[in-house]
Every structure is written in C-alpha cells, then in structure tokens.
C-alpha cells in the first residue's frame, strides 16, 4: 500500500479547501523558466534545470496527495529544444537520467507508474535506456501515472498519427471511419484521458507545441512563478482555481 506523504504546511492548509468531488483526473504541466531562474542568480542555465527537478518532486507529491489525480503529464523537453546549445542539451539529458535513477524508489513506494510520450528514439542511448528501464520496473504501479513528454511536439505527434491512419487506410475504404475518436487513438496519448487542467509556469501565455489536439477544452492556469520555484502548494492552488471554473464545452451555462 502506498504511503501518504505530508506536504508543506501551506499546501496542507490549502488541501482543506479542495473539493474532493471535483479533482481533475489529468493535470499537465509546461515546466518553464529554468533558464531565467538561473540567470537571475548569475548561475549557468544548467543550475536552473537541476533545481527544476526539485520542483518536479514537489509537483509529483502534491498530485499524488490529491489522490484522485490519476495522470500527471510533464512537458520536459520539446523537439524544438534540440536547437539549444549541445552542452545544455547534454546536461538536461544527464540530469534526466539522474532523476530517473534516484526517483525510481520513490515511484515504487508511492505506486506511481512512469510512462513517456514523444520521439524517444531521438534521445541519447543511455537516457532512453534509463527511461525504458524505469518505465518497465514501475509497470505494475497503478495509483498515478507520471508521463514525461520528451522530444515531444504536438505537431509531430499529429503528423505521426496521420502516418498511422494512412498506413491503416486501405484505398477505397470508407473514410468516414476516420473520426475524432479513431484519430485520438493514434496519438501518443492513447493511454490517457485529455487533461482537464494545464498549468504553465514563468508567465508565458503560450502553448509551445504541447498537446495541441488534447487541450481543445482544457482549463489553462498560467502562473508567473519560474519552474524551479514551483512548490507543492502552487499545484493545489491551481486545482482550487480550476474548481471555481465553469466548463461549458461550447454549450451554455447549466441552470437548475
């Protein structure tokens, strides 16, 4: 049985305000601002990425504590991020390997299954091997699924899905068979529901090629905090804010 981790005092206090019947099943996060965090402290960008991993731990623990969050998806490295200087890219990959190695125990203890989405074939061999290893060792865990988006881009995902659809579509076949449900099933995310809540840190008002198809009706929560400063209570705050919203999905306000 997974253990219950105590959060920071502030997060524990906020937890009392959370409506247990309206917890998002899937929270996705665009973790942004590591470089700026480091720059503000006259440090190298890699220090920001290192500190960012502590924030990942905070987010995972807070989501786990909310109990009914079954899927947490973290945008960790985009396809466009390969354009960064090679030393930054390799530092990120090494940090990721360290994170996976160190956190495996915590994931197992907390019944968290690790998964990934993205073109992971582009990752360095050692990073990919570690990712696959921990994904395998946590395969039996089922309380929460932690998915890392790595070498991920929403457009590439859609293109890959189109390729799958085309490969399966025999000439002359009835194309009305290709509907939204069928298309969704070809995305990398076929094993998870669409996120109800998307958090982005560092105050940037953009999506940066993340889950373009899946977030059609997702609630957005943009916070100015730079990712390395993200704490467990920020996630709880986002959930409380989400709970105050009315999701209409193009319909009209529900009246009694």
**Site of interaction with Mg ion (CB under 5 A):** 32
Residue (of 148, 153, 118) closest to 135 by Cα position: 148
- Residue 78 touches which of Mg ion, ligand IPE, none (CB < 5 to 8 A by kind)? ligand IPE
- Residue 44 touches which of Mg ion, ligand IPE, none (CB < 5 to 8 A by kind)? none
Active site residue 21: no
Residues from 85 through 144 that contact ligand IPE (CB under 6 A): 92
Distance of CA 132 to the CA centre of its chain: 17
For 3, phi then psi, to 5°, come to -85, 160
Residues from 62 through 81 that contact ligand IPE (CB under 6 A): 75-78, 80-81
Active site residue 110: no
CB of 31 vs ligand IPE, minimal distance in Å: 5
CB of 117 vs ligand IPE, minimal distance in Å: 12
Rounded CA separation 68/85 (Å): 39
Task: State which residue, 32 or 237, has the beta carbon closest to Mg ion.
Answer: 32
Task: State which residue, 49 or 65, has the beta carbon closest to ligand IPE.
Answer: 49
Task: State which residue, 24 or 35, has the beta carbon closest to ligand IPE.
Answer: 35
- Tokens 């160190």 — which residue? 102
The residue sitting closest to Mg ion, measured at its beta carbon, is 32
- Residue 34 touches which of Mg ion, ligand IPE, none (CB < 5 to 8 A by kind)? ligand IPE
Of 158-166, 180-188, 198-206, 217-225: span binding ligand IPE (CB under 6 A): 198-206
Rounded CA separation 19/66 (Å): 10
Q: Residues binding ligand IPE: what is the number (CB under 6 A)?
A: 19
Q: Are 114 and 136 in contact (CB under 8 A)?
A: no
Binding-site member from 23, 24, 26, 34 for ligand IPE (CB under 6 A): 34
Query: Of 21, 32, 110, 232, which residue is the catalytic one?
Result: 32
Q: Are 106 and 137 in contact (CB under 8 A)?
A: no
**Residues that are catalytic:** 32, 81
In the complex, the residues that contact ligand IPE under the rule CB under 6 A are 30-36, 75-78, 80-81, 92, 202, 204, 206, 208, 227
């Amino acid at each position: 049985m997974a253990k219950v981790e105590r959060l920071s005092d502030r997060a524990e206090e906020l937890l009392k305000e959370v409506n247990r019947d309206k917890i998002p099943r899937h929270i996705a996060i665009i973790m942004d601002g590591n470089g700026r965090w480091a720059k503000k402290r006259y440090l190298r960008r890699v220090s920001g990425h290192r500190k960012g991993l502590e924030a990942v731990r905070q987010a995972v623990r807070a989501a786990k504590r909310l109990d009914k969050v079954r899927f947490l998806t973290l945008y960790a490295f985009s396809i466009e991020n390969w354009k960064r200087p090679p030393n930054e890219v390799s530092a990120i990959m090494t940090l990721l390997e360290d994170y996976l190695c160190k956190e495996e125990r915590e994931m197992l203890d907390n019944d968290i299954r690790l998964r990934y989405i993205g073109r992971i074939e582009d990752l360095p061999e050692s990073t990919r091997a570690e990712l696959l290893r921990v994904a395998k060792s946590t395969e039996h865990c089922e309380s929460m699924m932690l998915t890392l988006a790595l070498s991920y881009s929403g457009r590439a995902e859609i293109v890959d899905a189109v390729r799958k659809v085309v490969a399966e579509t025999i000439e002359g076949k009835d194309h009305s068979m290709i509907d939204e449900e069928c298309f969704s099933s070809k995305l990398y995310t076929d094993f998870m529901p669409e996120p109800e809540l998307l958090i982005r840190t560092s105050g940037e008002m953009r999506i940066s090629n993340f889950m373009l198809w899946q977030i059609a009706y997702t609630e957005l929560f943009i916070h100015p905090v730079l990712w390395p400063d993200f704490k467990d209570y920020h996630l709880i705050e986002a959930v409380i804010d989400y709970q105050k919203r009315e999701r209409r999905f193009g319909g009209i306000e529900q009246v009694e």
